[in-house]
Amino acid sequence: MELAKRIDHTILRADATQTDIADLCDEAMQFGFAAVSINPAWVSFCAKRLNGSGIHVNSTIGFPLGANTAAVKVAEARDAVKNGATELDMVINIGALKSGYADFVEREIAAVVKSAEGVPVKVILETSLLTTDEKILVCEMASRAGAAFVKTSTGFGRAGATTDDVALMRQVVGPKLGVKAAGGIRTYADAIAMITAGADRIGTSSGVAILKEMPAE
């Protein structure tokens, strides 16, 4: 296992500057991370800086609350892809799900997947706000709607990823979809625990520190 290839190197802070984002890209190239994960305003900049590197440009969609309209999420996805995004992390409409509108949530996921035109979509559940049954339901809907991954958390919710949630999500989606763990993953031990539980990807702003903690081979 090459740990760096499982990490989405992340900056989603509102006060991130162009220098911060440039450093993020440069670190991703230096350490060989799978992707940089950034807000949509930085997609074009990252796509240009990472051109030819093989590192994905991962844009958030409907972030962090998921409370945008479906039409806005679709437009945001199209814009991100046009600007060079090669992966998308979209937040579901949590309030709609909890109001009993699961069909709407599934249609919204499918609409974003369609608008992405083949760019992989990761569906963020925000697991700290969901019941076990809701987590299972969203994983099933994401699979039916054509998503590439399910993801635990935004990192802005009540709590981040847990190994129990990762294991549950893996059990539900099986080998068909990827599972991304994000939120509160700051150490090498955290990352390994999530991967052991079933995560394919780790979203973290601590990727460099995690790699530096790796035991020498």
Torsions phi, psi for 196 (to 5 deg): -60, -35
* Active site members: 89, 151, 180
**Cβ atoms 176, 143 nearer than 8 A:** yes
Per-residue pLDDT at 5 exceeds 90: yes
The angle at the Cα of 167, spanning 162 to 169, to the nearest 5 degrees, equals 95
What CATH number matches the domain at 3-213, 2.60.40.2140, 2.50.20.10, 3.20.20.70, 3.40.50.2000?
Answer: 3.20.20.70
pLDDT digits (tens, 9 = 90+) for 16-68: 999 999 999 999 999 999 999 999 999 999 999 999 999 999 999 999 999 99
Average pLDDT of 90-98?
99
- pTM of the predicted model as reported, rounded to 2 decimal places: 0.96
Q: 53, 29 in Cβ contact below 8 A? A: yes
- Taking each helix axis as running N to C, give the angle between helix 163-173 and helix 188-197, from 0 to 180 degrees, rounded to the nearest 10: 30
From the list 189, 149, 154, 139, the residue with the least C-alpha distance to 34 is 149
Q: Where are the domains of the chain?
A: 3-213
Mean pLDDT of 181-189: 98
Residues of the chain with pLDDT > 90: what percent?
98
pLDDT tens-digit readout, 105-114: 999 999 999 9
The number of angstroms, rounded, from the C-alpha of 110 to the middle of its chain's C-alpha atoms is: 17
